[in-house]
């Protein structure tokens, strides 16, 4: 059962039905019993006297009256209330064995219904409510006695129903509050800085979904914290290398231990350019994270976009003996993109493809459907391993971790920036790869409304 609302509804319905059934059953049984007693008091005793007289006439005595009354099911209520004495005022029937054989004087009985045969009183029926072991008791009216007992039965049934509802309520409240208490404890643990806390999922309803969402959120926060720490370390690492180089050479130039020459100036310029690109990449990512990345959108032909990226890298492809092709139909729906930003994305993808493709080809293609235009950059290079593929868009992640930093200023931010730019255009980017066969990056962009 996946809905908490349905569970609560059924629980309340079960409590209501069980309570109503208990009240109905207990009250019904007690009411029927008391109604039979009421009828007996009002009009049943004279009828009983006739029945007993018939027994006496048949047997010419009260012999067997005990067994006869005890075995008559329709007299079950009556026989529990009466005492029968014979003409000599000796008890010949009582539902309570301790009264049998006693004299009426010992029981202080009065107000009985006489049983007469041929003008002679052969017995008397007394109501058991008229006496008690300590003497006489006041006799209530049949009506008040009936109402009192029915009210007692209704009250008892209501009390039992309330206890049942309380038990069900306790069980239900525990089932509901247990996961909530665990969630509260987990949030307190997280607020203390211990990210990644998990809770048990006990059901598939709304509370279970809440627990699952909390676990996912907690895992993502822990991973985000790890990536943030790693990001800080990676930024420090990427800044330290060029700064160390710059400091070393500038100190040498300052103290005269190194003489200035063109090659040195070129090296210093490259390191400064690397720092500038790194800072610019970080700024682009920060703007994208804040949703403030400026985009000068306009309708652009997807094929022209691919041809522009291909043209920028055709010389490098020829130098590596790699075929660079653009395959796209002439009539494609336009896409509303920032031309410079989207060119930056494609340039990054083509540059990566060239870096890891020593022979074969790189294909830039485009297709469309009813809602999206799909751009692809596919290569026949070395491919990306499965573990690396899962992190390919992470910041500062380098699939080739052992590769030293080259002069192309590989900061590990290129694909992260590409993903941020594509998502800023309401699009998606995905990577597929087979090690040894190549990789394919797929970008989906919404069609232009113009």
Give the pLDDT confidence of 149-201 residue by residue, as tens digits.
Answer: 667 767 777 777 777 777 777 777 777 778 888 888 888 888 888 888 888 88
| Rounded average pLDDT over 384-388 | 81
Strand pairing category for 120-127 and 82-86: antiparallel
Among the four given CATH numbers 3.30.565.10, 3.10.450.50, 1.10.3720.10, 3.40.50.720, the one describing domain 296-446: 3.30.565.10
Q: What is the pTM of this model?
A: 0.52
Considering the chain, tell me which residue range(s) the CATH 1.10.287.130 domain(s) occupy.
206-288
Provide the strand spans (E) within 118-178: 120-127, 131-132, 135-136
What pLDDT score was predicted for residue 74? Answer: 65
206-288 fold: Helix Hairpins (1.10.287)
Q: Which two tokens stand for residue 233?
A: 């370390």
- Domain ranges in the chain with CATH number 3.30.565.10: 296-446
Tell how strand 335-338 and strand 91-94 pair up: unpaired
30-34, 262-266, 289-293, range with greatest mean pLDDT:
262-266
Q: pLDDT-derived band of residue 81, with 50, 70 and 90 as boundaries?
A: confident
Rounded Cα distance between 292 and 427, Å, is 16
């Amino acid at each position: 059962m996946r809905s908490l609302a349905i569970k609560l509804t059924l629980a309340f319905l079960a409590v209501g039905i069980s309570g109503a059934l208990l009240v109905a059953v207990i009250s019904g049984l007690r009411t029927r019993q008391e109604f039979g007693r009421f009828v007996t008091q009002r009009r049943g005793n004279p009828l009983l006297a006739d029945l007993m007289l018939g027994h006496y006439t048949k047997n010419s005595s009260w012999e067997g009256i005990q067994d006869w009354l005890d075995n008559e099911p329709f007299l079950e209520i009556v026989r529990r209330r009466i005492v029968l004495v014979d003409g000599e005022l000796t008890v010949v029937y009582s539902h309570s064995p301790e009264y049998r054989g006693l004299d009426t004087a010992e029981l202080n009985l009065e107000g009985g219904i006489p049983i007469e045969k041929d003008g002679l009183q052969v017995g008397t029926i007394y109501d058991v409510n008229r006496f008690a072991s300590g003497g006489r008791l006041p006799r209530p009216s049949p009506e008040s006695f009936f109402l009192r007992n029915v009210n007692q039965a209704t009250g008892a049934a209501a009390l039992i129903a309330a206890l049942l509802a309380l038990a069900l309520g306790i069980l239900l409240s525990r089932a509901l509050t247990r996961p909530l208490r665990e969630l509260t404890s987990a949030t307190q643990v997280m607020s203390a800085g211990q990210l990644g806390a998990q809770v048990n999922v006990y059901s598939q309803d709304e509370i279970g979904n809440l627990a699952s969402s909390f676990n996912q959120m907690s895992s993502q926060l822990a991973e985000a914290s790890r990536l943030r720490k790693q990001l800080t370390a990676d930024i420090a690492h990427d800044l330290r290398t060029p700064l160390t180089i710059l400091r070393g050479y500038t100190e040498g130039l300052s103290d005269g231990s190194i003489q200035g020459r063109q090659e040195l100036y070129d090296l210093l310029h490259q390191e400064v350019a690397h720092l500038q690109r790194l800072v610019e990449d970080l700024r682009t990512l920060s703007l994208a994270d804040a949703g403030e990345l400026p985009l000068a959108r306009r309708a652009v032909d997807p094929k022209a976009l691919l041809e522009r990226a291909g043209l920028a890298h055709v010389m490098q492809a020829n130098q590596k003996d790699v075929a660079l092709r653009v395959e796209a139909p002439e009539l494609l729906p336009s896409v509303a993109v920032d031309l410079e930003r989207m060119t930056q994305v494609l340039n990054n993808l083509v540059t990566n493809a060239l870096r890891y493709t020593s022979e074969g080809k790189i294909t830039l293609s485009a297709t469309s459907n009813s809602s999206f235009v799909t751009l692809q950059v596919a290569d026949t290079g070395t491919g990306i391993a499965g573990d690396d593929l899962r992190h390919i868009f992470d910041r500062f992640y380098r699939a080739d971790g052992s590769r030293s930093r080259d002069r192309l200023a590989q900061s590990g931010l290129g694909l992260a920036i590409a993903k941020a730019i594509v998502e800023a255009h309401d699009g998606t980017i995905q990577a597929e790869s087979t090690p040894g066969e190549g990789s394919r990056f797929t970008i989906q962009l919404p069609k232009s409304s113009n």
